[in-house]
Structure 1
Amino acid sequence: MAVTDTATTTTTTPTLPAHPDPDTDRILDSGLLHELSHAFDGPFHFLLPHRFDANLAAFRTTLTDAGVEGRVYYAKKANKAAVWTERCATHQAGVDVASAGELREALGHGVRGENIVVTGPAKSDELLRLALLQGCLVAVDALDELDLLLTLALTGTVRPARLLLRRLPSVQPHSRFGMNDAELETALDRCLRAGDAVRMEGFSFHLSGYATQPRADLADELIDLCLQARLLGLQADRISIGGGFAVDYSAADHWHTFLTEQQPAHFHAQKAFRARDFYPYHSPVAGADALRTILASTPEGGRHTLAERLRDTGTMLMLEPGRALLAGAGSTVFRVQGVKERAGYRIVTVDGTSLSLSEQWFNSEYLPDPQLVTPAGRVHGTPDAEVHPACVGGASCLESDLVTWRKVPFPARPRVGDLLVYPNTAGYQMDSNESPFHDLPLPPKVVMDRLGERPRWRLDRRPPC
């Protein structure tokens, strides 16, 4: 949807409203956010753990409905908050980690080692040693990594090394992740020679993008690899298809209209963005529905669905969603501390930086519209009301520190002391790039344990670092 900019007659101002979210709106209307902004004297994030629980349950229900044995592992890199690993521990879900620090965090918040899968390239001695001691499953990415893991297993522990072998996707042959056919053949031979020191439990892949059919096709290839490995005497009873389950932020008509109409004039300083660099903020198949589609797909050249192949071959399906488990599970709050007039729009400066919304640091933009919350409450727009376009700048002295380059059509003039609430930021946006630049403190995370007329809150148990 495009809204006419009443401050100028030369262009229209594109808008991208997020899907309605009654839980978030209840918090915005409670008056609590201004109190927290005053208390923290800076930006902060609020988290909704019940949404994580619901997303996890949806993935598990999809597996059950398809008659497929499967396990869900939360990709911890998507958000550093402790509450998510606490929820995993409570619900006996797994966690996907890629560093010794992430592994310790998961263990420290109650997740059992057997429920942790260790991914990432070129894992350190420290990470592999800790994974071995705790009985974690390691996704081996290269032959030299396999050699290091086998050496540690043969000389330093009494546990066998639990591992998956990661395949280089044929559809992404230039990926830096995974092993080609020749390397996999060598890896299988080395696993056989290691004997009881190894439990080769299956195969995995890392695939960029959000398309469902390629995941079904690659999963089918991994099943075939498992069958071949079983003939050699290896366990090979599971496959991991990783993450890549899209999140649907906005309605289809809003998204397609935005892509069609957006142009440099709609952004501060005529900033130009390529549409293909934006995250797909609308996805017709997202989250657990994407998994349902993958399971119902017939892999290329096959006659049976992926779910049927998994059932018929007794193969477990592992998946590692991050953003999809955090869909709707949190938002980011900035306070307006300055407003500057420009021709046809305003520059609003907030009390944080664009480091707290990671898209801006990847030559892209976090597009869902922020909501304006005044001390009197959330401001509601109407179709015929005047709009007040404004971009949103950060508090640093960098010219490029724009939280939002786009001239957002706010329903009222933002004023000092108002709050801007960016919706649905829990997945990757909150802390992937955060830094205490200018000695500004990192935004704290507030966990909303109970909603209602007066939400109950607490600080997340993981202190900012």
Structure 2
Amino acid sequence: MTGTSAPALPARPDRRTAQVLASGLLQELSHAFGGPFHFLLPEHFDANLAAFRAALAEAGVTGEVSYAKKANKAAVWVERCAAAGAGVDVSSAGELREALAHGVRGTDITVTGPAKHGYLLRVALLQGCLIAVDSPGELDHLLALAAQARPARVLLRHRPPGQHSRFGLDDAETAAALRRCAGAGEVVRMEGFAFHLSGYALRPRADLAGQLVTWCRRARECGLPADRIGIGGGFPVDYAAAADWYAFLARQRPGHYHAGKVFPADGFYPYHSPVAGADALRAVLATVPAGHDRPLGRLLRDAGITVMLEPGRALLDRAGATVFRVQGVKDRDGHAVLTVDGSSLSLSEQWFNSEYLPDPVLLTPAGPATGPPAHAACVGGATCLENDMVSWRKVPFPARPAVGDLLVYPNTAGYQMDSNESPFHELPLPPKVVVDGPADRPRWRLDRHAPAH
């Protein structure tokens, strides 16, 4: 079918990704692997890390940036952290082993998550990791282990007030935990507090950080060091231009999705954010928290407090993409239905009853297809499940996709490309390829992380 009313949502252009698409490398890799794959661009990770550090320096705030490892399992990101002296945030024994194995020092690792297994606590303790304690029982368990090994480095994870989160300590539990730490003597070093907030609003982060500055003062009155605050991640990523995003939201309707699929009105990630990445950190530090008379950055400086960040998606902005090969094309109800050589498990927004919306690039043997949108197609996976849709949306392509063409989903390194992947139907997990080298001759290597099957 020629001509389509389906709205487009082009991703923000990225020079390095465009160079890789134009190089011919992706067609070669698709032939070599015989299935879907992801390519990774570590130079963008390095640049994003440097941008967060620059924002801290501009505000005159002492800070530490740790990569939230859950955002992407590739080893290259941990390698880049080790090379740059950055930290890593982990939540399992496997993630801790990976971080240590790829060169990150134990003292640069923060261990988070609820109800941590005793083995994870023991290894983290022996390696000198900073442990974010989620409950009174976990604190008791950790202190008992520390009495037999070495002093525990502790953050108390504070539950956001007024929320129904299952994580963290409420005010009464936090006060009791301070007394418990103060009474434990040399068994523990209570270094401060941490929190995690859902969503991407900036003011709540500044407000809660301001509250934790007050808690640090209370902890110091108990004789505890309390010189750091962990404000987590949740820094938004700006995937698409404002005009494109708002035009898409205004135009999209159930008829633009396969089988009239309907998503919750607030179910999509905010693919445009006017303040994103390191600029979001600047905005948080410049906000005057509720109950205070100075910006958060000034409060932190005056109190001698180090702020700890744990971005995941924001460190991976533009740092990778996902490539599928079209292996089937059919027409249904005025649009094409594509079948690709992978599954929706490699674009994990399905987990949230949502969809990854930035337009994939159609890569033909002649190169990226260009021109006005003329051919609408949804994208299904190669499994026997009706709901295995990589894109429920009828994506407007400038040319009709054909068998053998590639679909390149841009900017998928932040959670999309492997959060939900599994070897369903005995299909292998898509490999990850690290791409570097000059624009006219990019080099590649397999990421050294070998997923368990």
Counterpart of 1:164 in structure 2 is 155
Counterpart of 1:192 in structure 2 is 182
1:398 to 374, 380, 385: 385
1:95 to 83, 88, 94: 88
1:147 to 136, 140, 147: 140
Aligned partners of 2:98 and 2:451: how far apart in 1?
13
Q: Is the 8 A contact 1:7 1:345 kept in 2?
A: no
Counterpart of 1:215 in structure 2 is 205
Q: Specify the SS of the correspondent of 2:247.
A: helix
Aligned partners of 2:368 and 2:17: how far apart in 1?
11
Q: Is the 8 A contact 1:7 1:344 kept in 2?
A: no
Q: Is the 8 A contact 1:444 1:464 kept in 2?
A: no
Q: Specify the SS of the correspondent of 1:429.
A: coil
Aligned partners of 2:383 and 2:160: how far apart in 1?
41
Q: Specify the SS of the correspondent of 1:244.
A: coil
Aligned partners of 1:457 and 1:275: how far apart in 2?
40
Aligned partners of 1:423 and 1:132: how far apart in 2?
39
Matched, 1:379 2:379: no
Structure 1 runs of 4+ off > 2 angstroms?
5-8
Letter in structure 2 aligned against 1:394: G
Deviation at 1:257, TM superposition (A): 1.1
2:52 to 51, 59, 70: 59
Counterpart of 1:363 in structure 2 is 353
What are the Cα deviations for residues 152-184 of structure 1, in whole angstroms up to 9, with x where unaligned? Answer: 0012x1x21000001110142x00111111111
Deviation at 1:7, TM superposition (A): 4.9
Aligned partners of 2:309 and 2:15: how far apart in 1?
29
Q: Specify the SS of the correspondent of 1:14.
A: coil
Counterpart of 1:113 in structure 2 is 106
Matches within 5 A, 1:5-404: 6-7=2-3, 12-155=5-148, 157=149, 159-172=150-163, 174-382=164-372, 387-404=374-391
Aligned partners of 1:451 and 1:177: how far apart in 2?
46
Aligned partners of 2:407 and 2:392: how far apart in 1?
14
Aligned partners of 2:190 and 2:199: how far apart in 1?
28
TM-score, with structure 1 as normaliser: 0.96
Aligned partners of 1:29 and 1:66: how far apart in 2?
40
Q: Specify the SS of the correspondent of 1:138.
A: strand
Aligned partners of 1:118 and 1:450: how far apart in 2?
34
Aligned partners of 1:46 and 1:108: how far apart in 2?
22
Aligned partners of 2:399 and 2:85: how far apart in 1?
46
Q: Specify the SS of the correspondent of 1:321.
A: coil
Deviation at 1:36, TM superposition (A): 0.2
Aligned partners of 1:270 and 1:14: how far apart in 2?
15
Cα 1:429–1:451 change in 2 (3 A) is farther
Q: Specify the SS of the correspondent of 1:18.
A: coil
Q: Is the 8 A contact 2:362 2:408 kept in 1?
A: yes
What are the Cα deviations for residues 433-464 of structure 1, in whole angstroms up to 9, with x where unaligned? Answer: 00111111100000012241121000001012
Deviation at 1:206, TM superposition (A): 1.3
Counterpart of 1:410 in structure 2 is 397
Letter in structure 2 aligned against 1:414: P
Q: Specify the SS of the correspondent of 2:439.
A: coil
What are the Cα deviations for residues 130-171 of structure 1, in whole angstroms up to 9, with x where unaligned? Answer: 00000000000000100110000012x1x2100000111014
Aligned partners of 1:457 and 1:99: how far apart in 2?
30
What are the Cα deviations for residues 57-96 of structure 1, in whole angstroms up to 9, with x where unaligned? Answer: 0000000000000000000000000000000000000000
Q: Is the 8 A contact 1:259 1:275 kept in 2?
A: no
Aligned length in residues: 452
Q: Specify the SS of the correspondent of 2:392.
A: strand
Aligned partners of 1:119 and 1:113: how far apart in 2?
14
Aligned partners of 1:257 and 1:403: how far apart in 2?
22
Letter in structure 1 aligned against 2:308: M
Aligned partners of 2:199 and 2:332: how far apart in 1?
38
Letter in structure 2 aligned against 1:454: R
Q: Specify the SS of the correspondent of 1:277.
A: coil
Comparing 130-139 with 451-460, greater Cα deviation is found at 451-460
Matched, 1:459 2:438: no
Aligned partners of 1:36 and 1:204: how far apart in 2?
43
Deviation at 1:299, TM superposition (A): 0.7
Q: Specify the SS of the correspondent of 2:450.
A: coil
Q: Is the 8 A contact 2:263 2:354 kept in 1?
A: yes
Q: Specify the SS of the correspondent of 1:20.
A: coil
Letter in structure 1 aligned against 2:222: L
Aligned partners of 1:437 and 1:375: how far apart in 2?
29
Comparing 181-190 with 98-107, greater Cα deviation is found at 181-190
Aligned partners of 1:297 and 1:48: how far apart in 2?
33
Aligned partners of 1:405 and 1:273: how far apart in 2?
10
Q: Is the 8 A contact 1:48 1:448 kept in 2?
A: yes
Aligned partners of 1:455 and 1:118: how far apart in 2?
36
Aligned partners of 1:263 and 1:411: how far apart in 2?
21
Deviation at 1:303, TM superposition (A): 1.1
Letter in structure 2 aligned against 1:133: L
User: What runs of 5+ residues in structure 2 fail to find an aligned partner?
Assistant: none
What are the Cα deviations for residues 224-263 of structure 1, in whole angstroms up to 9, with x where unaligned? Answer: 0001110110010000000010000000011111111111
Counterpart of 1:436 in structure 2 is 423
* Percent sequence identity over aligned pairs: 69
Aligned partners of 1:381 and 1:250: how far apart in 2?
19
Q: Is the 8 A contact 2:179 2:222 kept in 1?
A: no
Aligned partners of 2:78 and 2:46: how far apart in 1?
11
TM-score, with structure 2 as normaliser: 0.99
Counterpart of 2:412 in structure 1 is 425
Q: Is the 8 A contact 2:67 2:81 kept in 1?
A: yes
Q: Is the 8 A contact 1:226 1:236 kept in 2?
A: yes
Q: Is the 8 A contact 1:27 1:451 kept in 2?
A: no
